[in-house]
Amino acid sequence: MTQNANLQKLSEAGVSVWLDDLSRDRIESGNLAELVATKSVVGVTTNPSIFQAALSKGHVYDAQVRELAARGADVEATIRTVTTDDVRAACDVLAPQFEASNGKDGRVSIEVDPRLAHDADKTFAQAVELWKIVDRPNLFIKIPATEAGLPAITKVIGEGISVNVTLIFSVERYRKVMDAYLAGLDAAVAAGHDLSAIHSVASFFVSRVDTEIDKRLDKIGTPDALELRGKAGVANARLAYAAYQEVFEVDARFHALLERGARPQRALWASTGVKNPAYPDTLYVTELVAPNTVNTMPESTLDAVADHGEITGDTTSGTAVASQQVFDRLASVGIDLTDVFVVLENEGVEKFEVSWNELLDATAEQLAAARES
């Protein structure tokens, strides 16, 4: 098997290609291993929506659900067992990439219960529990970047546990995420942990920013407003990358930790499937190429990049001034950016809660059916 040329170019430009999807069928059929071998995939992310979709399709989980039902497992124990089994198996598939990259890639993420997004203590407790259950060094625990999530991130990192911080929408919040990571590394030093074994990524959502802002630009309807459609998501991510460079390439605080073996918290571009068919379907990949980043893609986006993605090297470094001009123009036409980011975070948490509740309901039905059979 040979690697796709476009995705290989993306990897060579410093972007780790991760798949934003996981299911048992994908693991057992060999599809995940095939994507590693042919499409440069070196990581996998999951979320409640992905698990809900996986468990609701087909019958691949039926036998395990029947077994758990016979043992008297409740709904939450069933979900925890099924999802952690899938993540552990995916970690094993990606173990060679983990070893080859010295722990940088070969990663699989599992998210804490989204209903805990505003409870730091319970988020921390579940993060530790999931880390122990999966029991793989190439695991990432996903914790949302809510105000309550920030102290949980620090505490979890301080325990020596690797974290994927999710649901980041604004550069302002992203700076707090980086601060939380650095504080966690300080705590890890104090606790005697090996900093080189602690990894983190910060998942900055892209397409949802355009979806929300475009809706508001359409409502304003002036030529100046309409001209800005489809520009905010990329500009926002590029400003985030400039903030990443400032903290992890320049800041003295991180360099002191770097000397102790610390790793930079890489920026990860999430929500990279294009929602508006008027935009190129590779937009959030080709326009966000930068060294030491991750792009986690739904399979449709991965296939689009493989087929016709034009990778021309770094398209992100040095774009901060132009990106800030986009944001200045958005403000000048009447976009309340503070409100945009509040709405996006609230909606993000809510969507994952809805998916989690749907997963609970579907699993409850499966357990009931298994007990009756």
User: Residue ranges of the alpha helices (H) in the chain?
Assistant: 5-12, 24-28, 31-38, 48-56, 62-70, 75-93, 95-100, 120-134, 149-158, 171-190, 207-220, 223-226, 232-245, 252-258, 283-286, 299-308, 320-332, 337-372
Long-range contacts made by residues 113-119, C-beta under 8 angstroms, separation at least 24? 113/356, 114/48, 114/144, 114/349, 114/352, 114/353, 114/355, 114/356, 115/353, 115/356, 117/144, 117/146, 117/148, 117/149, 117/349, 117/352, 117/353, 118/146, 118/147, 118/148, 118/349, 119/148
Nearest CA-CA partner of 134 in 112, 102, 154, 117:
112
Told to judge if 57 belongs to the known catalytic residues of this protein, a careful annotator would answer no
- Of 9, 39, 104, 142, the catalytic one is 142
Catalytic residue numbers?
142
